[in-house]
Structure 1
Amino acid sequence: MTRVYLVRHGEAEGNLFRRAQGQYDGHITSLGEKQIALLTGRFRDVPLQAVYSSDLSRSVQTAQGILRAHPELEMKLDKRLREVHLGVWEDEPWGNIEHEGPEKLYYFNNVPEKWSVPGSESFDALATRLREVILELAAKHEGGEIALCSHGMAIRAILLDTLRREGREVNPGHGDNTSVSVLEVEGENIHAAVLNDASHVPTELSTLARQEWWKHEGSGELNNMRIEPLLLPEEKEIYTDAYADAWRFAHGNLEGFEPQPYYALACRHAQAHPRALVKVLRGEELAGVVELDTQRISGGNTGWIVLLYLTEKMRSRGLAVQLLGHAVSVYRSMGRSAIRLHVSTENKKGIAFYERNGFRQVGIDAGVSAPLLLMERPI
């Protein structure tokens, strides 16, 4: 018998930004790095013979955490351990997906064998390729113990397939980031011995503990915001009100604020790229505005963020990172390697937010009412 440890990757950008990332190659987050460090400790006393990983970077980085407990081993990559291909859903905000097709999202979360969208991989095909690679690697390491790093829906697919073959009416649910399932493989038989165990991750470092969508059988959750174009001139008032409120939040007053020059620039930005000027909605309520200057290349191959704005009602809810996710999505698709922005030295909360999310100060420039920190984040 071969013991197979099936490990979900640490928290990645798709989890944080609330975007659908199947075979889209998103990065591990700072929380994911902490989860992976705990995974290292979990595997320190497990006598592994081999460590395999999907070739997607979030899985590779997770496998590297296991290898820190076993420096004598080398990672081996296998594309069959990849996440399900999400077709037209790839890198779309979950809020948009739910708004445009709530039934499809319900199937994806609750009855995945009924789910499909244009260009996607079927759940049956996903389960088949996972079963194939698990049986092959288990036979290669017969009688040993191996770790396979993979992805949430891929792991769910093989667990459901295995449980049904065993005649067990058990719903494995959704595994947390770095959760570990244990499969016992003998010949063509797979037994699911442990399902989605994340006992090494305390609640304060759990990804699922911060989310609601998996706790009920609805299609999604209200905090998955959607992103739509902000149309000018039709929605000029939304834009100018947002910029004025952002200015007031950063500086404490509207001294020095002149709306017309900013509006004129916004019109140019919107014409330059279809995703450069967007409104962010929570349900049907305006939650924020994002503005990007896609024609400006600052500091080499860097994308410029003009405005990340949340309405006062939406602040301090952990939602702002989804706006950042939009900027990352746009500029990564354009081949940019980093993003930059200005933040007023008076905007202490803004500075703290950007630092928490991977920005560092690379300069300081003059501003209308206070100096502006120039901050940069690799993408």
Structure 2
Amino acid sequence: MTRILLTRHGHVDGIRPARFRGRAELPLTARGLAQADALAKRIARQWKPAAVYTSAMQRCIMTGNRVAEACGIPAEVYQGLGDIDYGAWQMRTHEEVEKEAPDAYRLWRQAPHLVRFPGGESLQDVVARTSDALRLMMARHREETVVLVGHDSVNRALLLQLLDQPLSAYWKLAQDPCGLSEIEIFAGGDVRVGFLNDTSHLEGIV
């Protein structure tokens, strides 16, 4: 059985008010660093992971490094965990995009599985990347626990696959900064979800 501890990077600018951050490099804020430290302490206290895999974006690397240091294990960048490419929408606010392209924005909110961002990716592209990540984790880490540090969109795509849900259910899964999910994948393909997007370790961080 492979246990995956799935988490999102810590807080960055552009979460509220919301922007399409995507491939933009954004450092963790002071709040984000505190969240990463709290996450690292919880994982080190509760599990013995073998490795940490992160997106190549600095916000994920910084979060993953805190976890790796607390657990005394290596952290490795895996390109397939990179955030979705929003193309021409990157770093635009939701209000700006909704005003400029109301039909496309409405489709993204109502039927995200039918959208390809102008000059960017679709959710199907993200699923292809993240399914490769799942196969890699199962091959490398049988009978081990690993930590994956990704992004809101990437983590939703991973969870939809693991829960055997359609991409149209994308908006039904919340992924808060440094929220933690526990998923066990058994050799026969069975999946057990222990918990989703648990943020109890972040209590008191503002």
Q: Shorter-normalised TM-score: what interval?
A: 0.7 to 0.9
Distance (Å, rounded) in 2 between the aligned partners of 1:36 and 1:177: 9
Q: Segments of 4+ in structure 1 off by > 6 A?
A: none
Matched ranges for 1:271-350 at <5 A: none
Q: Distance in 2 between matches of 1:17 and 1:94?
A: 8
Corresponding residue SS for 1:189: coil
Letter in 2 for 1:82: G
Q: Secondary structure at the match of 2:15?
A: helix
* Rounded Cα–Cα distance in structure 2 between residues aligned with 1:155 and 1:13: 19
Which residue does the alignment assign to 1:52? 53
Instruction: Write the letter of the residue equivalent to 1:50.
Output: A
1:1-379 equivalence runs, <5 A: 1-16=1-16, 18-45=18-45, 46-71=47-72, 73-164=73-164, 172-187=172-187, 189=189, 191=191, 193=193, 194-202=195-203, 205=206
- Which amino acid in 2 is paired with 1:176? D
Contact kept? 1:10, 1:33, Cα under 8 Å:
yes
- How far off its partner does 1:116 sit? 2.0
Alignment coverage as a number of residue pairs:
202
Structure 1 unmatched runs, 5+ = 206-379
**Matched residues in 2 for 1:161 and 1:103: separation?**
28
TM-score (norm 2): 0.87
Instruction: Go from structure 1 to structure 2 and tell me whether the alpha carbon gap of 1:197 and 1:13 turns closer, same or farther (over 3 Å shift).
Output: same
Q: CA deviation at 1:17?
A: 5.9
Superposition RMSD in Å: 2.3
How far apart are the structure 2 equivalents of 1:157 and 1:33?
25
Query: In the superposition, relative to structure 1, how do residues 145 and 110 fare at CA in structure 2: closer, same or farther (>3 Å)?
Result: farther
Structure 1 CA distance, aligned partners of 2:110 and 2:160? 12
Between the two structures, name the one with larger relative contact order (CA 8 Å, sep ≥ 6): 2
- SS in structure 2 of the partner of residue 159 of structure 1: helix
- Conserved 8 A contact 2:35-2:205: no
Q: Alpha carbons of 1:136 and 1:16: their partners in 2 closer, same or farther (altered >3 Å)?
A: same
Per the TM alignment, residue 18 of structure 1 is displaced from its structure 2 partner at its CA by: 3.3
Partner AA of 2:93 in structure 1:
P
Change (3 A) 1:183 1:103: farther
Whose Rg is larger? 1
1:28/1:61 contact within 8 Å kept: yes
1:112–1:190 distance in 2 versus 1, CA, 3 Å:
farther
SS of 2:202's partner is: coil
Offset of residue 109 of structure 1:
4.1
Deviation at residue 85 of structure 1 after TM alignment: 0.7
Task: For residue 103 of structure 1, report the CA deviation from its aligned partner.
Answer: 3.9
| AA partner of residue 52 (structure 1) | Y
Q: Report the 3-state secondary structure (helix = DSSP H, G, I; strand = E; otherwise coil) of the residue aligned with 2:163.
A: helix
In the TM superposition, residue 42 of structure 1 has moved relative to its aligned partner by: 1.1
User: For residues 132-184 of structure 1, what are the alpha-carbon distances to aligned partners after superposition, in whole Å with 9 as ceiling and x for unaligned?
Assistant: 11221222010000001100001111212322359xx8974221100112222
Name the structure where helix makes up a greater proportion of residues.
Answer: 2
Amino acid of the structure 1 residue aligned with 2:51:
A
Deviations along 1:182-231, whole A, 9 cap, x unmatched? 222234736250222222122753xxxxxxxxxxxxxxxxxxxxxxxxxx
1:14, 1:131 → 2: CA distance?
27
Going from structure 1 to structure 2, the CA distance change for 1:102 and 1:201 (only over 3 Å counts) comes to farther
Structure in which a larger fraction of residues adopt strand: 1
Q: Is the 8 Å Cα contact of residues 179 and 198 (structure 2) preserved in structure 1?
A: yes
Give me the identity figure in percent. 25
Structure 2 unaligned regions, length at least 5: none
Contact 2:5 2:147 in 1 (8 A): yes
The one-letter code of the counterpart of 2:163 is: L
For 2:184 and 2:107, how far apart are their aligned partners in 1?
Answer: 29
The 1-side partners of 2:120 and 2:128 are apart by: 15
- Provide the C-alpha distance between the structure 2 equivalents of 1:199 and 1:17, rounded to a whole number of angstroms: 24
**Secondary structure at the counterpart of residue 164 of structure 1:** coil
Q: 1:16–1:29: 8 Å Cα contact kept in structure 2?
A: no
